[in-house]
Amino acid sequence: MELIVFITLLGLGYFFGRLAEKRHFKSTHDREKLHLRLPTTSLKRPMGTLPPVTESSLVSGNVVISVDYCKRILAGLRNIFGGQVSAYETLVDRARREAILRMKESCPTATQLINLRIETSSISKGAKQQIGSVEVLAYATALYCRPEA
Determine the pLDDT at residue 128: 66
Using one digit for the tens of pLDDT, what is the confidence trace for 65-92? 887 777 777 666 666 777 776 777 888 8
CATH of the domain at 63: 3.30.110.70
Distance of CA 124 to the CA centre of its chain: 18
Q: Residues 146, 134: contact at Cβ < 8 Å?
A: no
Q: Per the structure, how many domains does the chain have?
A: 1
Whether residue 123 is predicted with pLDDT greater than 60 in this model: the reply is yes
Using one digit for the tens of pLDDT, what is the confidence trace for 125-139? 665 666 678 899 999
Determine the pLDDT at residue 79: 67
Q: What is the mean pLDDT of the chain?
A: 85
Q: Is 14 exposed, middle or buried (0-12, 13-18, 19+ CB in 10 A)?
A: middle
pTM: 0.79
Range of the domain at 34: 2-145
What are the CA-CA distances from residue 3 to residues 7, 9, 78, 95 (Å)?
6, 10, 21, 33
pLDDT higher at 130 or 27: 27
Helix (H, G, I), strand (E, B) or coil at 136: strand
